[in-house]
Amino acid sequence: MMHTKPSIVFCHGLWADGSCFSKVIPTLQAEGHQVIAAQYALNTTADDVATVRSALGRISSPAILVGHSYGGSVITGAGTDDRVAGLVYIAALAPDADETSQTQQSNFPKTDVFSYIEVADGRIWLLPEGIDCFAGDLSEQEKKLVWATQCVPAPDLFNAKVGGTAWKSKPSWYIVAKNDRTVHPDMERFVAKRMGAKVTEVASSHVPMLSHPDVVIDVIRAAAKAVGARSAAASQ
């Protein structure tokens, strides 16, 4: 099958897996994009970046990486791959070469969610009471589902450098979640401005792909259109 539109690789954050993109994937598939959600284990950043690079081998190029939350750190590392043509960040981290996910956040006020976590059995668990800080604008049923399907990170995950700064060389788009209580909105605005991203702000919790999927789809469409136009021009 010939694919003329950019492919899309989704990269989840903490306390989530690829299912968090379930409201945006079907529409993008119907519009002709190859789509895959990279399912990594949140054991080490290096392993997570490697999993995304492996996912790039399962789809056609050029590709757009879409990273939510910690997934922004992952696409910042994996996005230096030549198969990647653009980056979309959703309420995401985006560390520079001398930063880690942890040091980047330490420059901004601590968010509410960190009052509702527990380190046990070698992982960082989101407590049930913390779901409102993570996904407070979802229905009660959806919040319970998000909590039940959380992918639980290793404690040292945020202390590693990501091995690249793709946003310095690839066009970027950024969705700021104005009501975020997991990643501080001021940090989101800072990194979006620093990378020179095209910015969309939405009155959302930390999970706009679930609470405002149409907004996320529109931003990905814009990225795909721009990337497709550049690819077409380069091939002439």
166: domain CATH number is 3.40.50.1820
Give domain status of residue 196, yes or no: yes
Distance CA 70, CA 73 (A): 5
Collapse the DSSP code of 41 into the 3-class scheme (helix H, G, I; strand E, B; otherwise coil) and give the result.
coil
Q: Which domain holds residue 190?
A: 7-108+157-235
Q: Is residue 34 part of a domain?
A: yes
Residue 150 lies in a domain: no
Residue 22 belongs to some domain of the structure: yes
Sheet of 172-177: strands edge to edge? 35-38, 7-11, 63-68, 84-90, 172-177, 198-202
- Separation of alpha carbons 220 and 173, rounded Å: 8
pLDDT, one tens digit per residue, over 144-156 is 999 999 999 999 9
Residue 4 reports pLDDT greater than 80: no
pLDDT tens, residue by residue, 46-97: 999 999 999 999 999 999 999 999 999 999 999 999 999 999 999 999 999 9
10 Å CB burial of residue 42 (0-12, 13-18, 19+) is buried
pLDDT at 1: 46
Prediction pTM value: 0.96
Percent of the chain with pLDDT over 90: 91
Question: Do residues 81 and 53 lie in contact, with contact meaning Cβ atoms separated by under 8 Å?
Answer: yes
Q: What are the pLDDT digits (tens) for 183-206?
A: 999 999 999 999 999 999 999 999
Q: Judge contact between 83 and 55, C-beta under 8 A.
A: no
151 near 42, Cβ under 8 Å? yes
Task: Give Cβ neighbours of residue 111 (< 8 Å, ≥ 6 apart).
Answer: 133, 180, 181, 182, 183, 184
Beta strands in the chain, from DSSP E residues, in sequence order: 7-11, 35-38, 63-68, 84-90, 117-120, 123-126, 172-177, 198-202
- Report the domain count for the chain: 1
Give yes or no for residue 236 having a pLDDT over 60: no
Q: Is residue 2 pLDDT above 70, yes or no?
A: no
